[in-house]
Amino acid sequence: MTKRSPIAKDLPDDHRIRCGWGPFSLDESHPFTRACRMHDDFFQARDEGKYTPSRKLVDHMLLQKMLEIAGRSPVMKAQAYLFYGIARTFGGLFW
């Protein structure tokens, strides 16, 4: 059984595949959706009791994939680091 924070338990599920949660999300058409899908898949696997890498490693993999997608775009690189920071700060509520 997965331990989640009381805050996360009270939040409604967001079944849409995108970066973020609910109103705090990028549109599904955003290029980072591929990276976020991988990240969410690890969270889902953990919820199902399957082995996953640590949250820190999963978040780092998210950053690396977003930076790969960002290429040379400074705006997208900034977004990648922003989302990584959000994942590190708030992801523990859902892990």
pLDDT digits (tens, 9 = 90+) for 57-74: 999 999 999 999 999 999
Nearest to 13 by CA among 44, 34, 39, 52: 44
pLDDT tier for residue 12 given thresholds of 50, 70 and 90: low
- What distance in Å separates the CA atoms of residue 5 and residue 34, rounded to the nearest whole number? 27
Burial class (CB in 10 A: 0-12, 13-18, 19+), 15: exposed
pLDDT score at 84: 95
pLDDT digits (tens, 9 = 90+) for 22-63: 777 788 889 999 999 898 888 888 888 898 899 999 999 999
Which DSSP symbol is given to 93? G
- What distance in Å separates the CA atoms of residue 33 and residue 56, rounded to the nearest whole number? 19
pTM across the whole model: 0.78
